[in-house]
Structure 1
Amino acid sequence: MSTTLATYIALPGNAAEAFEHWHEVFGGDLDLVRYGDMQLEGMPFEPNPQHVAHAVLTTPGGQVAGGDAMEDGNDYPLRGTAYSLLYSVETPDDARDLIQKLTNGGGSVGMPFEKAPWGEWYGTVFDRFGVMWSFSAPADDQQ
């Protein structure tokens, strides 16, 4: 196994729905394991068997991993600008296509996808789960 780095997102009980949606939008390979698919003997807590223990979506651009958050009493909001997933694509049209798929799936534009002051294209979308996706593409004259 090679060394990799992936973003990990703990979702509030809807990880299966989120990862299946992202798989539809971005393509790639999805590996999703629910607690009910595992041997639970020796677990320090009793998880909901329908919740996702671990999921990995491997896309042409990289990996996103995650699962359902443990019920520890913490309520960490997903929607916000403290973080985002940056997806860099080859052309502005590639980004527009992904943005359209996310908004068609119930998301909303956070920042319009347009030419940024630094010369490339950039914009953000909050998907229907509250996750902020940032998109970047080279300027038309850089292709």
Structure 2
Amino acid sequence: MTTAMTPYLQFGGVAREAMEFYHSVFGGELSVMTYQEGMNDGNPATADLIMHSSLYLERGLHLMAADTPPEMNVTGNGTIAISGDGAGEAEEINTLRGWWDKLSTNARVDIPLEKAPWGDYFGQLTDRFGVTWMFDIGEAQMP
């Protein structure tokens, strides 16, 4: 049996914007369902909010997100870590570096993507939606 863990982000009204941004960064296939589509309860406060969204990538990454209803608190999304394995393949180098560059747009770079004491290239940023992303790219992967 294979078990996969999938990050599930919770937003306070910006899930559509965030997931469309992540789709522009990572590519893949994005699906979105509003509360109106999923529950059809006629509640105007939640009708256009995202009840569930999924972003599937060829590389095995699956990212999901939703807007919390107004009566629930948004508590933050923690950190998503992306790690390269050091294989040094050009495609992986370009993909990981491209993701870093795109996520950096309008983000706060907490730790610049630079060579770390352990030999990999490491960086951390908090994107414009408040999600923190850590990148660890094996030394052999960086040009």
The aligned amino acid for 1:118 is: W
Question: Aligned runs of 1:98-109 on 2, under 5 Å?
Answer: 98-104=99-105, 106-109=106-109
Q: Is the 2:114–2:122 Cα contact (8 Å) retained in structure 1?
A: yes
Q: Decide whether aligned partners of structure 1 residues 73 and 58 sit closer, same or farther in structure 2, where only a CA change above 3 A counts.
A: closer
CA distance in 2, matches of 1:15, 1:141: 32
1:49 equivalent in structure 2: 47
Q: Determine what percentage of the aligned residue pairs are the same residue.
A: 29
Question: Aligned runs of 1:1-143 on 2, under 5 Å?
Answer: 3-41=3-41, 48-59=46-57, 60-78=59-77, 83-89=78-84, 91-104=92-105, 106-140=106-140
Per the normalisation by structure 1, the TM-score is 0.79
CA distance in 1, matches of 2:6, 2:113: 25
Shift of residue 61 of structure 1? 4.4
Q: Decide whether aligned partners of structure 1 residues 92 and 122 sit closer, same or farther in structure 2, where only a CA change above 3 A counts.
A: farther
Q: Is the 1:111–1:124 Cα contact (8 Å) retained in structure 2?
A: yes
CA distance in 2, matches of 1:142, 1:20: 28
The aligned amino acid for 1:64 is: L
The alignment of Structure 1 onto Structure 2 pairs a total of residues equal to 135
- Runs (4 or more) in structure 1 with deviation over 4 Å come to 90-93
The aligned amino acid for 2:111 is: M
The aligned amino acid for 2:82 is: Y
Per the normalisation by structure 2, the TM-score is 0.79
CA distance in 2, matches of 1:63, 1:5: 9
